[in-house]
Amino acid sequence: MSKLKDFSCAFHGNENMANQKLIYPAATRNQEPILQVLKRFVTYDCAEDDSPLFLEVASGSGQHLAHFAPHFPNIKFQPTEFDETLLGSIKYYATECPTKNILLPIQLDICTDLVHYGFLEESIDYVYNANMIHISPYECTIGLFKNAGCYLKPNALMILYGPFSKDGVITPDSNVQFNASLKARNPAWGLRDISELIKIAADYSLTLIDTVEMPANNKTLIWKKN
Give per-residue pLDDT as tens, 97-117: 999 999 999 999 999 999 999
Residue 134 binned pLDDT confidence (cut-offs 50, 70, 90): very high
Residue 158 binned pLDDT confidence (cut-offs 50, 70, 90): very high
Question: What does the pLDDT read at residue 9?
Answer: 33
Q: Rounded to the nearest 5 degrees, what angle is found at the Cα of 67, between the Cα atoms of 206 and 189?
A: 50
Question: What does the pLDDT read at residue 50?
Answer: 79
For CA atoms 164, 166, 171, 174, the dihedral sign is positive
Question: What does the pLDDT read at residue 16?
Answer: 40
Give per-residue pLDDT as tens, 17-60: 456 899 999 999 999 999 999 999 999 765 555 799 999 999 99
Assess whether pLDDT exceeds 90 at residue 10. no
Question: What does the pLDDT read at residue 74?
Answer: 95
Question: What does the pLDDT read at residue 204?
Answer: 98
Spell out the domains of the chain, with CATH numbers in brackets: 25-37+50-225 (3.40.50.150)
Q: Diameter of the chain by CA atoms?
A: 51
Q: Is the pTM of this model over 0.85?
A: yes
Residue 1 binned pLDDT confidence (cut-offs 50, 70, 90): very low
